[in-house]
Amino acid sequence: MEPAPILPRAVPRTERPQSVLFMCGQNSVRSPLAATLAKHLFGRSLYVGSAGVMKGEVDPFVAAVLDEIGLENRRHRPQTLEELEENEGLGFDLVITLSPDAHHRALELTRTNAIAIEYWPTPDPTLAIGNREQQLDAYRAVRDELEMRIRARFRAR
């Protein structure tokens, strides 16, 4: 009889995880924003990844709102959860989902992985209408909300 595989333990909400995966629908707006912010705020003390349910396209408004605060993510290429699993594996302590479809997909991971899941419902700024400045305002609002939540969730405990 083979020994049972050792799975990583799920991280209780009161502990700071060592690795986090941000997930959204297409890995083109919300999850890359969150990943870039988390990497900037916590450096190497927190391993950060991002993925989507489906593969989207690079969104230039994301680069614009990150540039406004002195950050960049020009090397980001949208990837699906399956591509991430194939390239890096899914050895994350925590998955933070930012959209309903990502949350449902992440919950499926808990069947075979000891991963904690948190759902942070986050508006999709691509749905904003109006002129360029009004659309950028929607992206800025998402960026600022994510930064506030990331700071609160991952501060030293």
What amino acid occupies position 137?
D
Domain boundaries, the chain: 19-152
pLDDT for position 157: 44
What is the topology classification, in CATH, of domain 19-152? Rossmann fold (3.40.50)
Q: How many CB atoms lie within 10 A of CB 117?
A: 17
How far is the C-alpha of 77 from the C-alpha of 28, rounded, in Å? 8
Percentage of the chain surpassing pLDDT 90? 76
Going by pLDDT thresholds of 50, 70 and 90, the confidence category of residue 13 is low
Give the sheet arrangement for strand 47-52, strand by strand.
47-52, 19-24, 94-97, 116-119
Average pLDDT for 99-122 = 93
